[in-house]
C-alpha cells in the first residue's frame, strides 16, 4: 500500500510540475524577448565598431577607409611600438590612470564615510546632490569653466592664491602642473559617482559585526580595517574597475583644456590616436586604439582577479 501511494503521488504532481516548467520557460522567453533590443543595440553600436577598428588596424593607412583596404598585417603595430612618442604617451596614460584611480577611490571612500555620519543626517541629501552634480554636468561645459579658472591672466584659482599671499599655480603652462590640472578636473568630474556607490554599500553593512568588535575592545581604526573594509570589497572592486576603464581612455578633458600640451606632456594614447586619425594615418590610429583597448581589457581583468583574491589585511 505504501509503495502504491509513493508511486502514485509523483504521477499526480506531474501535471502541476509540467505547468510550472512551462510557465518558467515562457517567463525566460519573455525576458529574452525584452533583452533582445538592448543586445542588438550593443552589438551594432558597441561590438561592431570595436571589431571594425581592430580590423582597420591591420590595413594600410591610406586605403583603410576605401572599399578594398590593403592588408598589411602587424606593420602598423610595429610602427607605433617603435615610435618613442607613442611609448611615452602610453607611459603617461598608465601613470595618469594609476594616480587617478587611487585618488578617486580614496577620496570617494573618505567622502562616503563622512556622509554616513549621524551628524550630517539633516543635510545629507544636499551634500550628496552637491557631490553628484559634477557627474551629470556636460563634460565640455564643465571643462571650459575649469580652463577659465586655471587661466593665468584672469583665473579665479590664481586670484585666490594671490589674495592668500601664495605663489601662482602654473596651470596648463608647465608639464607637471598640466598633469596635475587634468587630475584635479577629472577628480571633480567623477568622484561623485564612486562616492554614492560607497555610500550605498555602507548602508548595507552588518552593524552587529561592528558592535561585537567594539564590545571586544577594538579601536575605531581596527573596526574599519577588519570589519568595515572587507564588507566594502564589492564597492571597491566596482569603483576601481570602472575608474580604470574611465581614466585609461581619458580624452575630452585633454581636447578642451590642454590639447596634449605643453610639450606633449598630456598627449595620452586616446588623444595621440585622435591626432593620427586627423592626419589620415588611419592604420596607425586604429593600432593605437587597439593597443589601448587591449590594455583596458587586460588591466581590468587583472584588477578584478587581484582584488577578488585579496583580504585587505
Nearest-5° Cα angle at 45, 39 to 49: 125
pLDDT tens-digit readout, 2-43: 444 444 445 555 555 556 655 565 667 777 787 788 778 777
Asked if residue 162 lies in contact with residue 168, where contact means CB atoms within 8 angstroms, the answer is yes
Per the document, the length of the chain is 313
Asked whether residue 32 is assigned to any structural domain, the reply reads no
Task: Indicate if the pLDDT at residue 283 is higher than 50.
Answer: yes
Whether this model's pTM surpasses 0.85: no
Q: Which three cell numbers stand for residue 227?
A: 570589519
244 to 63, 185, 190, 240, 261: CA distances (angstroms): 34, 16, 12, 6, 23
Q: Which of 118-122, 128-132, 255-259 has the highest mean pLDDT?
A: 255-259
Q: Which three cell numbers stand for residue 73?
A: 598585417
117 vs 195: CA distance, rounded Å:
14
Asked whether residue 54 is assigned to any structural domain, the reply reads no
How large a percentage of the chain has pLDDT more than 90? 39
Q: Which of 57-71, 110-124, 252-266 has the highest mean pLDDT?
A: 252-266
Question: 289: domain range?
Answer: 77-309
192 vs 66: CA distance, rounded Å:
44
Residues sharing a CB contact under 8 Å with residue 205, sequence separation 6 or more, in sequence order: 228, 231, 232
Asked whether residue 141 is assigned to any structural domain, the reply reads yes
257 vs 156: CA distance, rounded Å:
16
Q: Residue 298: which of 257, 263, 248, 239 has the closest Cα?
A: 248
Nearest-5° Cα angle at 309, 297 to 201: 85
- Cis upstream peptide for 262 (omega within 30°): yes
Task: Indicate if the pLDDT at residue 312 is higher than 80.
Answer: no
Asked whether residue 245 is assigned to any structural domain, the reply reads yes
Asked whether residue 88 is assigned to any structural domain, the reply reads yes
Q: Residue 226: which of 218, 236, 234 has the closest Cα?
A: 218
The mean per-residue pLDDT over the stretch 234-259 comes to 92
Nearest-5° Cα angle at 145, 96 to 139: 60
Asked whether residue 52 is assigned to any structural domain, the reply reads no
Task: Please report, for the domain that includes residue 180, its CATH number.
Answer: 1.10.3720.10
Asked whether residue 297 is assigned to any structural domain, the reply reads yes
SS3 280: coil
Q: Residue 256 CB: number of other CB atoms within 10 A?
A: 17
Q: How many CA atoms lie within 13 A of 110 on its CB side?
A: 7
Residues sharing a CB contact under 8 Å with residue 231, sequence separation 6 or more, in sequence order: 201, 205, 206, 209
274 to 91, 179, 227: CA distances (angstroms): 17, 19, 46
Domain count, the chain: 1
pLDDT tens-digit readout, 154-191: 889 999 999 999 999 998 889 999 999 999 999 999 99
Q: Which three cell numbers stand for residue 200?
A: 550605498
- Alpha-helix runs per DSSP H in 43-149: 48-56, 75-81, 84-115, 124-136, 139-149
Write the DSSP assignment of 135-174 as a string of letters. HHS-HHHHHHHHHHHT-TTT-HHHHHHHHTTPPPP-GGGS
The mean per-residue pLDDT over the stretch 219-238 comes to 87
Asked whether residue 108 is assigned to any structural domain, the reply reads yes
β-partners of residue 206 are: none
Placement of cell 590640472 in the chain? 181
Task: Indicate if the pLDDT at residue 269 is higher than 90.
Answer: yes
Amino acid at each position: 500500500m505504501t509503495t502504491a501511494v509513493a508511486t502514485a503521488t509523483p504521477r499526480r504532481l506531474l501535471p502541476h510540475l509540467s505547468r510550472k516548467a512551462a510557465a518558467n520557460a515562457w517567463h525566460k522567453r519573455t525576458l529574452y524577448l525584452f533583452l533582445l533590443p538592448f543586445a542588438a543595440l550593443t552589438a551594432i553600436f558597441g561590438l561592431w565598431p570595436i571589431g571594425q577598428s581592430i580590423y582597420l588596424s591591420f590595413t594600410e593607412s591610406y586605403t583603410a577607409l576605401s572599399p578594398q583596404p590593403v592588408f598589411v598585417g602587424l606593420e602598423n603595430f610595429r610602427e607605433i611600438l617603435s615610435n618613442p612618442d607613442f611609448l611615452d604617451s602610453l607611459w603617461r596614460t598608465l601613470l595618469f590612470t594609476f594616480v587617478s584611480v587611487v585618488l578617486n577611490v580614496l577620496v570617494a571612500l573618505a567622502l562616503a564615510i563622512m556622509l554616513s555620519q549621524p551628524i550630517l543626517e539633516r543635510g545629507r541629501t544636499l551634500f550628496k546632490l552637491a557631490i553628484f552634480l559634477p557627474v551629470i554636468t556636460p563634460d565640455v561645459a564643465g571643462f571650459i569653466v575649469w580652463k577659465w579658472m586655471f587661466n593665468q591672466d584672469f583665473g579665479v584659482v590664481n586670484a585666490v592664491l594671490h589674495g592668500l599671499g601664495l605663489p601662482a599655480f602654473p596651470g596648463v603652462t608647465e608639464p607637471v602642473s598640466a598633469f596635475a590640472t587634468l587630475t584635479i578636473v577629472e577628480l571633480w568630474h567623477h568622484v561623485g559617482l564612486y562616492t554614492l556607490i560607497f555610500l550605498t554599500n555602507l548602508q548595507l553593512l552588518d552593524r552587529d559585526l561592528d558592535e561585537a568588535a567594539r564590545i571586544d575592545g577594538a579601536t575605531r581604526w581596527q573596526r574599519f580595517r577588519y570589519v568595515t573594509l572587507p564588507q566594502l570589497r564589492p564597492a571597491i572592486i566596482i569603483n576601481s574597475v570602472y575608474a580604470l576603464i574611465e581614466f585609461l581612455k581619458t580624452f575630452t578633458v585633454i581636447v578642451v583644456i590642454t590639447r596634449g600640451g605643453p610639450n606633449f606632456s598630456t598627449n595620452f594614447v586616446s588623444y595621440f590616436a585622435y591626432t593620427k586619425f586627423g592626419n589620415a594615418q588611419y592604420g596607425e590610429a586604429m593600432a593605437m586604439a587597439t593597443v589601448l583597448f587591449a590594455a583596458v581589457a587586460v588591466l581590468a581583468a587583472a584588477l578584478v582577479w587581484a582584488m577578488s583574491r585579496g583580504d585587505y589585511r
